[in-house]
Every structure is written in C-alpha cells, then in structure tokens.
Chain A
C-alpha cells in the first residue's frame, strides 16, 4: 500500500509540473495588457511601466515561469496588484467561504442523493421511484444559474424572505449566515443530489441482483440488514469517484453561484483574475486547484483500495 501511495505521489508531482507549464503558458497567451487590465486605463503611463517592470513582465517568458515556480516552491505565492494583497492572503481570505459553501452543499448532495438513490432502487417501479427519478432528471437538466435567478426572484425580491447577496461565516452571525446560505446551497446541491441519486440507484440495482444478495436473502437475513449491511457498502464503491469530484469542487468554488449571489469566494477570484489579467493570482489558484484535484483523486484511489480488497491485491 505504501509503495502504491509513493508511486501516486510521484505521479502527482509530474502532473503538477505539467499543469504549471500549461497554466502559465495559456494565461500568458491571452491577449491584453495585464497592467491596464488590473489597474484600470486611467493610470499614467509612468506608473504602468513601473508596475510592468516590478511584475517582471518585461522579462522573457521562460524566466518569468521559473521565477514564479521558484517562489512557489519557497512558499511565496506572489503579490496580486489587482487585489492589493499577497496571493496567499487572497486565497486564505476566500477559502473559508468557498469551503463552507462547498462542504455544506456537498454534504447535502451526498447524504440526500445516496438516500434517494437507495430508496428508488429498493422501491424500483413504485410511485416514489417514478417521482424521485423525474425530479432527479429535472435536477440534472436544470441550469444552476436559472435556478438561482428563480430563487432570487421568489424568495429575495418578491417575498423578501432571504437576502439576495453576500456571505457571512456562521461564527460571525449565525442567523444571517443561515439566511444568506440557503439559496446558494440549494443551487449548488440540487444538481449533486440528482446525480448522486441516479448513480446510487443504478449502482444499487446492479448490486441487489448479485448472487451474494440472493444468498443473504435465502439465509433469511432481514431486508434492512441486506440493504444496509451488504448492498449499500458495495454499491457505494463507484460513488467514491463522485465524492472525490465533489470534494474537489468544494475547493474550486462555483463562479456562477458566487457571482449571482455576490459571494467573494475562490471561484469568483479566478474569474476576476482572468478578466483582469491578474496572472499571479490566476496561475497560482489554478495550480492550487490542480493540487487539490490530485490529492482528492489520490484519496479516492486509496479509499477504493480500502473499500475493494481486489484493488489492494492488484
């Protein structure tokens, strides 16, 4: 197992290096003067040139790349002229918001999705199955931004029950935090719940047809024991991949939701960095996200190995 993990870690380092080259190159290929884009066209030429030089943009690209990478390896993520903060601060200030929203919606998605998936599989062909399956299809098909706009229209603008923007951490103001979180979390969870429900349902249906389930039934085990003790455990193995993706998304944030609800999270930071050619923040955020993705994938693979002994033996 240790060898397996070390191998995967080495692969991760190579992947991250490749991603750093791609992220750096692609960002620098996007046209547009980064200094004017970041600081606005009103700044005088002298100040523009001064910042251009300070950012090292007048150096060859290869030199800029190694300078950036070298600093990252030394723990210096760089300075954002757009956000007027070090990139480490930019990320650290926004990460709690993104993680909070991401994790809360992930928890809703996973728990409710799996629950509905099991229910629909166990009651296959029933009215409950039909209703949940139709709702799940709607959940998958419904664009997040559309749902967000509809929710804002109803609960924010017409009924004025919920605030239409902003985010407050629960330990700052619990009441406000809950009210501000309801709509974004619903938008971020609905698709996830639907996907988990459908995936769990098909996985469960496959498992409950297996011989060992039939054997369990013939042994006279209780149905609940068969479902929750044997079927669910095995049916959840493919769900682990989805959980890994959900975990990764929790770090990346949702640029659409963050923009619609005016929440300053990492997703929005990346969009703002791209629009304003904030190279340092964007390439560092991308690398960070890639690192998180690799770690999540690694964790999923390890979890696979634990959940399925066949993978361990391979």
Chain B
C-alpha cells in the first residue's frame, strides 16, 4: 500500500515537474535528510507545537502549560509530581512539613549551579519568590506568612494555615527557579527571552512565535544526563502544518494537539500517543451556568437540570472526540480520588428535561433562552448541543467568538454570559476546579447562586483547609454531590487529555505522565 502510494506520488511529481518545466518553472532539488538519519541517540530532539507560544519564557510562571513545557529543559522546579500525583522534591532534596502543618522546611540539592555559572542556593529561592510575589503572582503564596533562608541550602516557609494545594502551589507552580539576577538586570520584559536555569539544557536561541533551541548543559548536576545533545522546539501557527512537520520526520514529537481529528489521524498513521490516561492534569470540557441575575432562566435549578438531561453527552463524545474524550458526570476523572461514585448526574432523558422545564413554568410559547459561548474549534459540538436543547424546549443562541473575545466573556466577564464553556486543568488535589466555588466565584459560576447559603463555601473550606485527610475526602465527596445532584452548577461535557504524539523512537520522555507542563528532558533519548 505504501509502495503504491509512493508510486502514485512519483507519477504525480513527474507530471507536476513536467507541467512546471513546460511553464519554464523547473525545479532543482536535493533530497532532504530522512528522519532515520536525523534520529540517533545523543542527537537533537525536535518538538513541534501546534499553537503559538505566547510567553516563551525565562519566566515560566507567567505562561500556560505549553510555555512551561517549553522552558522546562532549562528551568527546573523545586518539586515535581510522581505518577500518583504526590509532590516529590526535585531541586529541593527534602520537603518537610511539621506536625501542625504550619511550617515547611525545604532542604535544597547542594552544589547546584545555574547554566551561567551562578550558584543556586536558599537565597536564590527567596529572591525568586520575592520576584514572583512582586510581579503579580502573590496568589501563589496566599497562605504563606513568610519564608526565609535558614541556611545556605535551607528555606523555611511559615504558613498562616494549611491548604490542600500548598505543596503543589508553592513548590511546583511557584517553584520554577529562574536566575534572579537576570530579572534584576533586565526586568520582567527581559525575562521572556532570557531562559536561564539550572536545567539539563541551555537556551541557545529564543524567538517568540518561532521557537527555542537548546544545547546540552555540560555541567548539569546529574552525572550522565542529559542524554541528548540538544532540543529544538518549533512553533507552527497552524495545527495541520505542525502535523505535516511531524509526518515529514522533521520533528519527532508534537505537543498541544488541540484537534482530536488531527490526533487520531496521527495515531492511525503510526505515531504513538505520548502520555497516560491517568495523567493527573486532564482537561475537562464543560458548561458553567454563569448567570448575572437570579431572574435569568439559568438562575433556576430546574432549568439547569433540564439543560443537563436534554443533552446526550455520550453521543457527543462518540461523534466528535474521535475516541479521545471520556464521559464523566462530575468535575473529576472516573477512578481518581476526587471522583464520587454516588453522584447520580443527569443521564440523557429528553422527556425528563421537558417535564422539568414545565415544572419551572416554561412552555412551548414561553421557552427559556440560553446563549452558548464557544470558540470555533468546538463549533460542531455546540451545534449538536443546540439541537438537543431545542428539541427539549429551549431557545438557543450560539455565540461563536475568537480566543480574545472568549477571554473577555470568561475571564473579564463582560458581558456576563448565561452559559459559558470552560476548559481547565484539574490538579491532583481538585483545588484547581473547586476554586470556582469559593466565596468569590469566577464569572463561570456567577453571582446569582447563593453558594454560601447552599453550604458550598463551608464544604470547600473543610476540604481546602482541612488537615485530616479522611475529613477532607468526606468534604470533597459531599461537595461533588451537592454541586451536581443538588445545585446543578455545571454541565460536564467530557474529559480529555492534552494530546501529544510522536515517534516510538523517543523514549524516557516523561511527557504527560505526571503533569502536562512537566516532563523529563534530562532522561529523554532517541533510539536508532
């Protein structure tokens, strides 16, 4: 089959060359290097990203997961996740929490140096955290009373209260150890193109919107690592272009495959999936019933429940996610510690939806109107949802927007939509999504719901700030059930992973095995 395809291509090429020659446009070409000749142990790994890097950055805290992924070869974190989602030390040697959960003593790896030769020590950590706090990331230290260098390689963190996400927030999210002297020299803007860390690679060239080239750090602290001579990250502005770069053998890995169709094509074309289903940071796609006013239809729990019953989620997943979506009835991955088996959810039942709407006071002549805001890549899904909702007795307005306007709708909240779509990352301890249900909820939940009166805030606090794991778990399970079965605060569509694909020749990469932004550039290798 492959031979036949090559033969057809040759014939077509000959025809085209003939045609071009006839036009006087004959081409001279030299064969490009094949993938196999480029791929060798100790060589250069080329990764293509299917979307533009906004904050290609020596300041990874400012970027999203793609930017963090791309700066990870040079900039390391104090801690990483293991496969179970637990926080384990990395640049830190030990992270010790006292019995009261109010003091954390961090012992750092000794003898670590930045790639520019500067020492990495306790003072560095304090300086980096000072920079983060002063430049818009104080929220990462929300329950941190103080931190100080209590030794050359020891940092002590004092907490105001324990929170379930403390370790991941402080040591991973705010744990990216940049070279603080560079910040002092170049300021925030300079940091975006100056990637200097303690990592296994050194940034040779950083071009925003184009890519990064890394060369091996010969003085990396772990002997025998990194395995590769270099890493090259290319940014392609179009996902199909990125896929072509992978298919042509000019890259070995493609990350951030946002279109499941492209992903499925790559997998069926012989590429392998990188990452695990159990990756602790999946993306959950759903609809929040944000409502600016209690008199809006979505302010009524019966209408929200009707909405959920009206849609055949499993059929949507089957039709549009090409096997990459997983069904869930709550904001958690089935089988994980955050998932509550007792949540009943809202199975597809159009008659039940109609019944609920009737109960809520709506009829064929008085239909509730909802506006669905979505971005272009979800158009098919939202058109299908529109069909389901209309069949159940809703008036549905589709509001297709680009990324910038979407940002307005969801983040800035102007104008407040009745419903909104949210894609978000759920860290292992569920704090990533429970924050939507705090005393100051985002526009995704909206001000119309009395979260405090409903007991949501109380459950959230018990879970978030509790120190007894059994009670925390109990509160979390109750929170899940209340959010879904009682209050119907959102409609979960499906769970998907951030999709990565590549050739089987790339080994020990750690990509998407513990977290989507963290991987193991120091161990990655390319087999012949």
Say whether B236 contacts A262, CB under 8 Å: yes
CA distance A178 to B27 in the complex (A): 10
Interface residues of A in 52-98 (CB under 8 A from B): 82-85
CA distance A260 to B237 in the complex (A): 8
Query: A165-B241, A182-B29 are contacts. A155–B13 as well, Cβ < 8 Å?
Result: yes
Say whether B411 contacts A182, CB under 8 Å: no
Q: Which of B10, B54, B241, B410 contacts A276 (CB 8 A)?
A: B54
B469: Cβ under 8 A from any A Cβ: no
Q: List A contacts of B30 (CB < 8 A).
A: 175, 178-179
Say whether A84 contacts B64, CB under 8 Å: no
Q: Which of A30-38, A211-219, A225-233, A287-295 is the interface stretch?
A: A30-38
Query: A43-B136, A84-B192 are contacts. A154–B32 as well, Cβ < 8 Å?
Result: no
Say whether A38 contacts B54, CB under 8 Å: yes
Chain B contributes a number of interface residues (CB within 8 A of A) equal to 61
User: Distance in Å from the Cβ of B244 to the closest Cβ of chain A?
Assistant: 5
User: Distance in Å from the Cβ of B300 to the closest Cβ of chain A?
Assistant: 29
Say whether A160 contacts B249, CB under 8 Å: yes
B208: Cβ under 8 A from any A Cβ: yes
Q: List B contacts of A33 (CB < 8 A).
A: 404, 407-408, 411-412
B363: Cβ under 8 A from any A Cβ: no
Q: Which of A44, A135, A152, A182 contacts B19 (CB 8 A)?
A: A135
Say whether A85 contacts B241, CB under 8 Å: no
Binary contact readout B10-42 vs A (1 if CB under 8 angstroms, 0 otherwise): 101100100110111101111110100000000
Say whether A179 contacts B29, CB under 8 Å: yes
Q: List B contacts of A189 (CB < 8 A).
A: 25
Say whether B32 contacts A163, CB under 8 Å: yes
Say whether B9 contacts A158, CB under 8 Å: yes
Query: A159-B10, A264-B210 are contacts. A37–B23 as well, Cβ < 8 Å?
Result: no
B316: Cβ under 8 A from any A Cβ: no
Query: A33-B408, A262-B241, A275-B402 are contacts. A156–B23 as well, Cβ < 8 Å?
Result: no
A251: Cβ under 8 A from any B Cβ: no
CA distance A160 to B135 in the complex (A): 48
Query: A36-B411, A272-B52 are contacts. A157–B244 as well, Cβ < 8 Å?
Result: yes
Query: A112-B23, A156-B244, A178-B30 are contacts. A40–B136 as well, Cβ < 8 Å?
Result: no
Q: List A contacts of B403 (CB < 8 A).
A: 32, 37, 275
Say whether B22 contacts A162, CB under 8 Å: no
Q: Which of B22, B193, B244, B405 contacts A31 (CB 8 A)?
A: B405
Say whether A36 contacts B407, CB under 8 Å: yes
Interface residues of A in 250-288 (CB under 8 A from B): 259-262, 264, 268-269, 271-272, 275-277
Q: What size tier do the contact residues of chain A reach?
A: 35 or more
Say whether B34 contacts A160, CB under 8 Å: yes
CA distance A83 to B250 in the complex (A): 25
CA distance A262 to B233 in the complex (A): 13
Q: List A contacts of B34 (CB < 8 A).
A: 160
Q: Which of B62, B207, B244, B407 contacts A37 (CB 8 A)?
A: B407
CA distance A10 to B6 in the complex (A): 59
CA distance A269 to B139 in the complex (A): 34
Binary contact readout A114-151 vs B (1 if CB under 8 angstroms, 0 otherwise): 01100000000000000110010001000000000001
Say whether A259 contacts B238, CB under 8 Å: yes
Q: List B contacts of A36 (CB < 8 A).
A: 404, 407-408, 411-412
CA distance A178 to B28 in the complex (A): 9
Say whether B22 contacts A158, CB under 8 Å: no
B390: Cβ under 8 A from any A Cβ: no
B377: Cβ under 8 A from any A Cβ: no
B63: Cβ under 8 A from any A Cβ: yes
User: Distance in Å from the Cβ of B311 to the closest Cβ of chain A?
Assistant: 26
Say whether A193 contacts B25, CB under 8 Å: yes
A224: Cβ under 8 A from any B Cβ: no
CA distance A154 to B404 in the complex (A): 36
Say whether A154 contacts B12, CB under 8 Å: yes
Say whether A85 contacts B13, CB under 8 Å: no
A100: Cβ under 8 A from any B Cβ: no
B245: Cβ under 8 A from any A Cβ: yes
Say whether A276 contacts B248, CB under 8 Å: no
CA distance A158 to B8 in the complex (A): 9
Q: List A contacts of B20 (CB < 8 A).
A: 186
| Smallest CB-CB A-B distances: 10 pairs | A32-B404, A47-B136, A37-B404, A158-B9, A36-B407, A84-B192, A44-B136, A46-B136, A32-B405, A164-B248
16 additional A-B residue pairs with CB within 8 Å, beyond A115-B24, A159-B9, A186-B25: A31-B401, A32-B401, A40-B55, A41-B410, A46-B136, A82-B208, A112-B23, A131-B22, A152-B244, A161-B31, A164-B250, A165-B248, A186-B27, A189-B25, A262-B234, A276-B54
18 A-B interface contacts by CB (under 8 A): A31-B408, A32-B401, A32-B403, A40-B55, A40-B64, A41-B407, A84-B192, A84-B208, A115-B24, A116-B23, A151-B16, A152-B244, A160-B249, A163-B32, A164-B248, A182-B27, A271-B237, A272-B52
Residues of B within 8 A of A (CB): 5-6, 9-10, 12-13, 16, 19-20, 22-25, 27-32, 34, 52, 54-55, 62-64, 67, 135-139, 189, 192-193, 207-210, 234, 236-238, 241-242, 244-245, 247-250, 401-405, 407-408, 410-412
